[in-house]
Amino acid sequence: MQKMKKMREKRRIYLDHASTTPLSARVRRVMAPFFDLSYGNPSAIYKEGVVAKEALREARKTAASVLGARSDEIIFTGSGTEADNLALLGTFEAARKKTPHFITTVIEHPAVLEACRYIEQSGGSVTYLPVDQKGIVRPENVRRALTPKTVLVSVMYVNNEIGTIQPIKEIGRMLRSYRDKEKSRFPYFHTDASQAPNYLPVNVERLSVDLMTLDGSKIYGPKGVGMLYKRRGITLEPVIRGGGQEGGLRSGTENMAAIVGMGAALEEAAATREKESKRLKKLQEYFFSRLNEVLPKAIVNGSRSERVPNNINICIEGLDGEYAVLLLDARGVACSTSSSCRTLGENSSSYVINSLGNGRRCAGSSLRFTMGRGTTRRELDTVLGLLGEVASLGARR
Amino acid sequence: MQKMKKMREKRRIYLDHASTTPLSARVRRVMAPFFDLSYGNPSAIYKEGVVAKEALREARKTAASVLGARSDEIIFTGSGTEADNLALLGTFEAARKKTPHFITTVIEHPAVLEACRYIEQSGGSVTYLPVDQKGIVRPENVRRALTPKTVLVSVMYVNNEIGTIQPIKEIGRMLRSYRDKEKSRFPYFHTDASQAPNYLPVNVERLSVDLMTLDGSKIYGPKGVGMLYKRRGITLEPVIRGGGQEGGLRSGTENMAAIVGMGAALEEAAATREKESKRLKKLQEYFFSRLNEVLPKAIVNGSRSERVPNNINICIEGLDGEYAVLLLDARGVACSTSSSCRTLGENSSSYVINSLGNGRRCAGSSLRFTMGRGTTRRELDTVLGLLGEVASLGARR
């Protein structure tokens, strides 16, 4: 009995799935043979290589089918960050001599923002679009920022901190007709969809995107693998150069286990999407509905409607967010204050929340809970039960 | 009995360990918990993150100790290729405006050569040093190529095709005294040591190197992970930009399982080095001693003495190397003709062997057998027994 109680106490409540997810048991099984049984290099021409090449082909086909894309449009990378870099820096490098212009938003992931900073330092220019109070970028702002020099627009599908869903389809359609009108190949449209596949369709045709980033470590797949969808006809320069793997766009011996795992994880995300979204939407609504019972002044950061169902991000005025995370940690709850990925030199307050209307009060006083496949209502009850105490202990003095 | 025979027939003889190695069982065990039990993001400040950060710190310490380096000098990357790119492109980017000069050799891996091509296209210059008939670069040639603009010398430790060991220590010492004399921080000395750790010491002090590339997939570690040793005081720009992981030099959520596996694999390589080198040296000598019984005219490509013990690379004049690989494959043997990593647009003949004196006759007519932990004398006997038939069937018409 004592032991049972101890075990229950020890059980952690993990609510940081936007930071990283555990590996799905099924995905892990699919990956297993590629560590030691089927370890061939797909560049080799003998049997072990052919087997690996076939598995690579299958993983690419699986990934492409989830996106409604063609196999030759899939480039496997070492991370979501690398896929973002390949989209932005690869476009920049191909157009470098023409002092190209880029459009992005102030709420992008550091993988996009730091690539943009490099572009600015290297002779390109970048427009950073604001978001509205709800954390949504307006398509008409994208339209207004376009210049004849614009080569790429990069807008994330789902924000990693506040979970807001950006109007990708609208922006994609607008850019498509802009290109038609201007009779130009540019601008390309890139979206970082790392946080999307568990909850939203990622069909590249329906979204009208030309480049799309995905990340294994956010969809119950392995860490150390990402993917860039690149529409046929789009020209990029590689970021990593060498043996010419991945159509010359990403050199290095293929990480077979991870690539096969990426394909399986994407497939699983698509298969569980509808059911899991409904389940989490209910939990999210439950949390929001009970939040003000516990903390009357707490507010939800970002749109409630245009939001993935697993994201809860709340502002508690006066809270020391980082300290509150540690208080919750000591009570068995893993959550975060902003993203776990920060731009260099930034402090712990959130540039995403700072960009919302109430940013100044909330940037350092917010908590992000991101639910996942294992999250239960009971866990949310526990968190809700802790919030009052945490808000009071964690208040700035 | 019939079944036993069938099983024995089916057993493959894998002799392409320079292309990639299977994952060590011990390394696999060490990696296992990081897939689903301990899946935290080391950037997070709660318990799961702290546990991951501690494992990351330990892996870095382990890797550093094998190199005689300090933990803060280790940068984990997504592959050996990426580590090479970081060394070369990272140095180039930091010195870009000064039209810097690089020195390398004609026998480097494509990860170095393609980075050099980019440097040349982008305003830098590169000297490609030849090797002698034995496949060894001469330190005095490095010395002669130095200019006041030289920022980096990159010479591989062990060639991946012919296994020749380059005089890294001599070049390192020479460069050190050159820098002292010139009172300059430059040139840095980089070595791609991907093929070395199983057989040679990789102590960065004794080798006098400033930057060293290692690759998990060549040392019985996982694929999808590499490492760059970067001496304190060396300034690089990142190749992949974002959340600022790895001291800002390699952004992206850390691939914990692979990083922990990389540390364990390096440790294992160091622990088994002496014994395994002796064992393979005997097998190598055995093969070379019996080679001319089987094929009187076959010659060994590259130095026999300055060579890692697992590499057998032979030239059989008139042989269609690629066809011979397929013939051997059909007979149960996995080997290769040149490297499995080729520079873009290159045909199947080897630029490494082409750079030796007898290159023209041998570049498309060579076979590489690279032994590993599982290789036995019986396997070599089988290969020797097949070579006569393969040489005759595989002769160009």
Asked if residue A397 belongs to a domain, the reply is no
Q: Is residue A78 part of a domain?
A: yes
Name which of A48, A114, A339 is nearest B251 (Cβ-Cβ): A114
pLDDT of residue A201: 98
3-state secondary structure of A60: helix
Distances (CA, A) of A307 to A159, A188, A265, B122: 9, 25, 22, 43
Q: Give the per-residue SS3 of chain B.
A: CHHHHHHHHHCCEECECCCCCCCCHHHHHHHCHHHHCCCCCCCCCCHHHHHHHHHHHHHHHHHHHHHCCCHHHEEEECCHHHHHHHHHHHHHHHHHHHCCEEEEECCCCHHHHHHHHHHHHCCCEEEEECCCCCCCCCHHHHHHHCCCCEEEEECCCECCCCCEECCHHHHHHHHHHHHHHHCCCCCEEEEECCCCCCCCCCCHHHHCCCEEEEEHHHCCCCCCCEEEEECCCCCCCCCCCCCCCHHHCCCCCCCHHHHHHHHHHHHHHHHHHHHHHHHHHHHHHHHHHHHHHHCCCCEECCCCCCECCCEEEEECCCECHHHHHHHHHHCCEECECCCCCCCCCCCCCCHHHHCCCCHHHHCCCEEEEECCCCCCHHHHHHHHHHHHHHHHHCECC
- Kindly report the CATH number assigned to the domain that includes residue B183: 3.40.640.10
Q: Are B42 and B157 within one domain?
A: yes
Contact B283, B53 (CB under 8 A): no
Residue finishing a domain among B251, B268, B285? B268
Nearest to B161 by CA among B60, B39, B308: B308
- Nearest CB to A39: which of B20, B252, B253? B20
pLDDT for the residue A348: 63
- SS3 assignment, position A232: coil
A340: nearest CB among B43, B326, B343: B43
Residues A55 and A15 in one domain: no
At B68, give phi and psi (nearest 5°): 65, 30
pLDDT tens figures, B330-386:
999 999 997 655 443 445 678 999 899 876 789 999 999 999 999 999 999 999 999
Cα–Cα distance, B361 to A170 (Å, whole number):
61
Quick check: is A139 in a domain?
yes
- The tens-digit pLDDT sequence of chain A (397 residues) is 454 444 444 689 999 999 999 999 999 999 999 998 899 999 999 999 999 999 999 999 999 999 999 999 999 999 999 999 999 999 999 999 999 999 999 999 999 999 999 999 999 999 999 999 999 999 999 999 999 999 999 999 999 999 999 999 999 999 999 999 999 999 999 999 999 999 999 999 999 999 999 999 999 999 999 999 999 999 999 999 999 999 999 999 999 999 999 999 999 999 999 999 999 999 999 999 999 999 999 999 999 999 999 999 999 999 999 999 999 999 999 999 976 554 434 456 789 998 998 767 899 999 999 999 999 999 999 999 999 999 999 998 7
Sign of the torsion formed by the C-alpha atoms of B89, B95, B99 and B104: negative
Q: Report the alpha-carbon distance of residue A203 to residue A273 in Å, rounded.
A: 13
- Residues B203, B220 contacting (CB under 8 angstroms): no
Q: Do B266 and B197 touch, CB atoms closer than 8 A?
A: yes
Cα separation, B17 vs B24, in Å, equals 13
* Mean pLDDT score of chain B: 94
Please say if the pLDDT value at position B256 is more than 50. yes
Tell me if chain B has a CB within 8 Å of the CB of A106.
no
Chain B, nearest residue to A221 by Cα: B35
First to last CA, chain A: 41
Amino acid in the structure at residue B362: C
B102 with B119: CB under 8 angstroms?
yes
> Do residues B379 and B357 both lie within one domain?
yes
Is there a contact between B312 and A213 (Cβ–Cβ < 8 Å)?
no
What is the 8-class DSSP label of residue A160?
A: T
Residues 6+ apart with CB under 8 A from A247: A72, A75
Q: How far is CA A19 from CA A240, A338, B298, B330, in A?
A: 25, 10, 57, 47
Q: Are residues B124 and B169 in the same domain?
A: yes
Task: Please give, rounded to a whole number of angstroms, the shortest distance from the CA of A349 to a CA of chain B.
Answer: 14
Instruction: Check residue B345 and give its pLDDT.
Output: 42
Domain membership flag for residue A396: no
Write down the pLDDT at residue A347.
58
Whether residues A255 and B223 touch (CB distance < 8 A) is answered with: yes
Model pLDDT for residues B314-334, shown as the tens digit of each residue? 999 999 999 999 999 999 999
Within 10 angstroms of residue A285's Cβ, the number of other Cβ atoms is 12
pLDDT tens-digit readout, B193-227: 999 999 999 999 999 999 999 999 999 999 999 99
Q: Is B370 within 8 Å of B19 (Cβ atoms)?
A: yes
Instruction: Give the phi and the psi of residue B239 in degrees, each rounded to 5.
Output: -95, -40
Interface size, chain A vs chain B, as Cβ–Cβ contacts under 8 Å? 262
**Are A37 and A16 found together in one domain?**
no
B268, B293, B309 — which closes off a domain? B268
- pLDDT tens profile B32-42: 999 988 999 99
pLDDT of residue B1: 44
Token pair in block for residue B333: 């043997």
Q: What is the CATH number of the domain that holds B307?
A: 3.90.1150.10
Q: Which residue of B has its CA nearest to A112?
A: B242
SS3 A383: helix
- Same domain? A281 vs A258: no
Q: Phi/psi at A230 (nearest 5 deg)?
A: -130, 115
| Chain A contact present for B130, CB below 8 A | no
| In a domain? residue A88 | yes
Span B244-254, average pLDDT: 96
Q: Which two tokens stand for residue A95?
A: 């157009």
pLDDT tens digits along B273-287: 999 999 999 999 999
- In a shared domain, residues A282 and A332: yes
Helix, strand, or coil (residue A299): strand
Segment B373-382 long-range contacts (CB within 8 Å, at least 24 positions apart):
B373/B220, B373/B272, B373/B276, B374/B14, B375/B15, B375/B17, B375/B280, B375/B283, B375/B310, B376/B283, B377/B283, B377/B286, B379/B13, B379/B15, B380/B283, B380/B286, B380/B287, B382/B13, B382/B332, B382/B333
Contact B243 A342 (CB under 8 A): yes
Asked whether residue B42 falls in the same domain as residue B60, the answer is yes
**Catalytic site includes residue B362:** no
Using CA coordinates, name the residue in chain A closest to B35: A23
Distance separating alpha carbons of residues A200 and A311, to the nearest angstrom: 13
Q: Cβ neighbours of residue A68 under 8 Å, at least 6 residues apart?
A: A203, A204, A205, A206
Which of B247, B268, B289 marks a domain boundary?
Answer: B268
Domain count, chain A: 2
B150 with B134, same domain: the answer is yes
Choose among B9, B22, B4: nearest CA to B331. Answer: B9
Tell me if A128 is assigned to some domain.
yes
Q: How far is B111 from chain A (nearest CA, A)?
A: 4
Tell me the one-letter amino acid at B154: S
Closest chain A residue by Cα to residue B46: A329
Comparing CA positions, the residue from B247, B32, B43 lying closest to residue A16 is B43
Residue B315 CA to residue B302 CA, distance in Å, equals 10
Residues of chain A contacting residue B219, judged by C-beta atoms under 8 Å apart:
none
Residues B326 and B239 in one domain: no
Classify residue B341 as exposed, middle or buried by CB count within 10 Å of its CB (0-12, 13-18, 19+). Answer: buried
Domain range spanning residue A305?
2-23+273-390
Contact A334, A320 (CB under 8 A): no
A76: part of which helix (H) or strand (E)?
strand A74-77
Report ipTM for this prediction: 0.94
Among A251, A265, A264, A245, smallest CA distance to A53 is for A245
**pLDDT computed for residue B397 by the predictor:** 76
Indicate whether B244 and B285 sit together in one domain.
Answer: no
- The kind and range of the H/E element at A190 are strand A188-192
Alpha carbons B369 and B386: distance in angstroms, whole number: 13
Residues A90 and A163 in one domain: yes
- Whether B35 sits inside 8 A of A22 (CB atoms) is yes
Closest Cβ opposite residue A23 in set B16, B36, B118: B36
- B7 pLDDT above the threshold of 80: no
CB contacts of B12 in chain A (<8 Å) are: 47-48
| CA-atom Rg of chain A in angstroms | 22
CB contact under 8 Å between A223 and B114, yes or no, is no
Residues 26-85 of B with CB under 8 A from A: 28, 35-36, 39-41, 43-49, 77-82, 84-85
pTM: 0.95
Let me know how many helices (H) and strands (E) chain A has, helices first.
Answer: 14, 12
